[in-house]
Amino acid sequence: MAATTSFGKKIRRITPPAPPPPPPSSGAASSSILGPSTTASPAIGLDEPKSRRLWSPPPAPVAEVRSQSRVPFVSFLIVALLVIAYRAEDIPGFGLSLIPSNTVPDALLQAGVRQDAIAAGEWWRLFTAPWLHESALRLFGSVFALVIAGLLFERVIGRVWFAALFAVSALGGSIGSLYLGNPATVTGGAAGAAMGMLAAALVCSFLFAPGQVRWRMQRGSLRLLIPSLLPAALPLLHVSVASIDYATPLGGAIAGGVAGFILGEAWREGADKPGATAFAFLIAALFACVSVGAFVFVFVLNR
Span 174-194, pLDDT tens digits:
999 999 888 888 999 999 999
Distance between CA atoms of residues 239 and 95, nearest Å: 28
DSSP state of 206: G
Tell me the β-bridge partners of 218. Answer: none
In sequence order, what are the residues at sequence separation of 6 or more whose Cβ sits closer than 8 angstroms to the Cβ of residue 207? 50, 51, 52, 54, 59, 264, 267
Q: How many CB atoms lie within 10 A of CB 241?
A: 15
Distance between CA atoms of residues 139 and 30, nearest Å: 71
In sequence order, what are the residues at sequence separation of 6 or more whose Cβ sits closer than 8 angstroms to the Cβ of residue 70? 7, 8, 9, 155
CATH architecture of 73-301: Up-down Bundle (1.20)
Q: How many CB atoms lie within 10 A of CB 140?
A: 12
Distance between CA atoms of residues 146 and 44, nearest Å: 33
Helices (H), ranges, the chain: 73-88, 106-111, 115-119, 125-128, 136-149, 155-157, 159-180, 191-204, 212-229, 247-266, 277-296
Evaluate whether 234 touches 244 at the Cβ level (below 8 Å). yes
Smallest CA-to-CA distance from 200 within 223, 173, 221, 171 is with 221
Smallest CA-to-CA distance from 285 within 163, 169, 189, 192 is with 163
Q: How many CB atoms lie within 10 A of CB 102?
A: 5
- pLDDT at 208 (0 to 100): 85
Return per-residue pLDDT of the chain as tens, 303 residues.
444 444 444 443 444 455 555 555 444 443 333 344 444 434 333 333 344 444 443 343 334 444 445 788 999 999 999 999 998 887 765 555 544 456 778 888 899 999 999 999 999 999 999 999 988 888 999 999 999 999 989 988 999 999 999 999 999 999 999 998 888 889 999 999 999 999 999 999 988 888 888 888 999 899 999 888 887 776 666 555 556 788 899 999 999 999 999 998 888 877 888 888 899 999 999 999 999 999 999 888 876
Give the DSSP H or E segment for 11: strand 10-12
Whole-angstrom CA distances from 90 to 93, 134, 161, 242 are 9, 11, 32, 26
Backbone φ and ψ of 11, nearest 5°? -125, 170
Burial state string for 67-91 with b = 16 or more CB within 10 A and e = fewer than 16 = beeeebebbeebbeebeebbeebeb
Distance between CA atoms of residues 17 and 92, nearest Å: 69
- pLDDT at 41 (0 to 100): 39
In sequence order, what are the residues at sequence separation of 6 or more whose Cβ sits closer than 8 angstroms to the Cβ of residue 54? 203, 206, 207, 261, 264
Evaluate whether 64 touches 46 at the Cβ level (below 8 Å). yes
Distance between CA atoms of residues 188 and 224, nearest Å: 19
